[in-house]
A = this chain, B = another copy of it.
């Protein structure tokens, strides 16, 4: 038994991805690196790590941007003796979400850091002493500029993708702004163009406290025996608390006291206090106070609106395709800000998808919800680099993380022909919004058959992962809340396929459809079909049929209606029904339809709608 365990450990160890820490001095012009603030750095050294192989066309590079306090060691192991791998090892490696079998993956320590890249604790070549108070103000723009110089010196001219969470997400966005032609895909997790005011407030207070530490010495503390550890520890404690959410704290901390620990006056001894003490101490041992000040300041003051005038202008020239991943309980970068950014990107014609991960873990979810992030990242990054079958196999392997999602709605009548009817109603090369898009099959089909493009919107995350695999951009959300990320008349068609009867506000969604699209296509089960009528009349029960397959008490079909009812609603909304197709499977019903009694015969109605002249 024991032998078996040892073997497994040995096997796991032999699979470890080994990596070497590297360092490179940037080749700079004689005046040095010009910074966004106007300052200069005469020398810049960058600490970095590489994974996988650069292909011949040098177009398989993924740059991983790091969060606030993380270094270049993004994955892998330095030696067999290491206790821990790099900080995102779960995500990066052979056959992992960021697949090093396909991609050449680069991570680096950011400018201003203390993990090998030039920062305030580095020696200033002018003096031979640490920069300290002489280290110039840096910005996210400068951090990204250094990364660009690094990849250029590595012989790389463009990125297949840039990806990052938190401060790393801000860098990913800045990449798309500063190097608009270099970045093919930009994935920004738990970040936005600026920090929320509440997070900003806590950061500001943390910095004030650190600056007030009696050992700070205006930043020139490197030669003194005592460093501003106390102030740094306090700032870190505040930071740690902001990365969590009320729910995750509740889960993490009971009200128990560690009775073995003696408490000083005004100390509670509760486990949250011990947690803060322990982690702040650990942090102080691995991080430099000046780096903390400079990097948080860069994060707090980053705001492309200030630099470029507006978000629109900032991203104007970008050729990137975006995926924004927001975390539901993240109050440092709340989902509302990710949505606002997505809306703006869509508005200026960029391809931008958005996902809101439902997680109780606050900002930390970006490091904790690995199992949910894996398929999202994987599906966004695999396009073109794998075969279709590879994708299908992998999505099947990855989608186990979604077991709790609701079952799929059964397909009506076993008629898989509804796409054909829809196809028959649209012009080639139309731009389509599929509302309640499921796995994106409609847009994928219409793309292949009619050269259509389009977006999907759905509430089910698992479905959306399938969309990303198919390269169908998506918006994650509840249709009943409206289509407000999309601008007026952004599409040729908006399609509502067998979803309308499940909506809370079908009238509102219908109006929204014809706001965002020229025309709408609505597919719905007709409650007035003769079989439904007879069920109620003769049996006195709510009908159960192929079109309405649920028990009344558990049915998602909360607003049943007939074709005639649909006509009344359209009329009241000043909507015209341009064309209707009446679909049925039964002989009796077909007879009624043949005679023109469509409201009696149709089991399924497919209607093409547009605004009336008086709209």
Contacts and interface: CB of A to CB of B under 8 A. Distances in A.
Interface of A: 137, 194, 196-198, 200-202, 204-205, 207-209, 211-212, 214, 230, 234, 237-238, 241, 244-246, 249-250, 252-253, 255, 265-268, 270, 272-273, 276, 293, 297, 300-301, 303, 305-306, 331, 334, 336, 504-507, 527-528, 532-533, 536-537, 539-542, 551-555, 558-565, 568-569, 599-600
A224 B574 CA distance: 78
A479 to B, nearest CB: 14
B568 A541 contact: yes
Contacts of A533: 536-537, 540
Contact of A536 (B208, B253, B528): B528
A478 to B, nearest CB: 14
Nearest to A199: B246
Contacts of A303: 255
A266 B207 contact: yes
Contacts of A600: 540
Chain A interface secondary structure, helix, strand, loop or mixed? Answer: helix
B334 A246 contact: yes
Contact of A202 (B207, B241, B255): B241
Q: How many chain copies?
A: 2
Nearest to A334: B246
A194 B266 CA distance: 17
12 contacts: A197-B246, A197-B252, A198-B241, A200-B268, A201-B276, A202-B238, A211-B266, A255-B303, A255-B305, A539-B564, A552-B561, A553-B559
Contacts of A560: 542, 552, 560
A198 B249 contact: yes
A569 B540 contact: no
Contact of A196 (B202, B250, B564): B250
Given A200-B270, A209-B234, 19 more contacts: A196-B250, A197-B272, A198-B244, A200-B253, A205-B276, A209-B209, A211-B266, A214-B214, A238-B238, A255-B305, A270-B300, A507-B553, A527-B536, A536-B562, A537-B537, A541-B568, A542-B561, A553-B561, A560-B560
Contacts of A234: 205, 208-209, 212
Point out which of A202, A252, A306 has the most chain B C-beta atoms below 10 A from its C-beta.
A202
A196 B196 CA distance: 22
B237 A205 contact: yes
Contacts of A297: 266, 268
A364 to B, nearest CB: 12
A568 B554 CA distance: 13
A501 to B, nearest CB: 10
A164 B506 CA distance: 44
A494 to B, nearest CB: 17
A527 B552 CA distance: 12
B204 A276 contact: yes
A554 B303 CA distance: 43
B197 A253 contact: yes
A200 B569 CA distance: 54
A265 B132 CA distance: 13
Nearest to A306: B255
Nearest to A555: B559
A536 B536 contact: yes
A460 to B, nearest CB: 17
Closest 3 CB pairs of A and B: A558-B558, A528-B540, A197-B249
Given A249-B201, A507-B553, A537-B533, A293 B266 contact: yes
A559 B552 CA distance: 6
Contacts of A270: 200, 204, 300
A214 B231 CA distance: 12
Nearest to A236: B205
Given A234-B209, A533-B536, A560-B560, A273 B204 contact: yes
B300 A268 contact: yes
A336 B542 CA distance: 38
A197 B552 contact: no
Contacts of A540: 528, 533, 562-564, 599-600
A205 B552 contact: no
Nearest to A195: B255
Point out which of A270, A331, A553 has the most chain B C-beta atoms below 10 A from its C-beta.
A553
A426 to B, nearest CB: 25
Nearest to A200: B272
A249 B565 contact: no
A544 B198 CA distance: 50
Point out which of A137, A209, A266, A599 has the most chain B C-beta atoms below 10 A from its C-beta.
A266
B204 A246 contact: no
Nearest to A240: B201
Contacts of A551: 569
Point out which of A305, A554, A569 has the most chain B C-beta atoms below 10 A from its C-beta.
A554
A602 to B, nearest CB: 10
Contact of A528 (B336, B541, B563): B541
Contacts of A202: 238, 241
Nearest to A573: B553
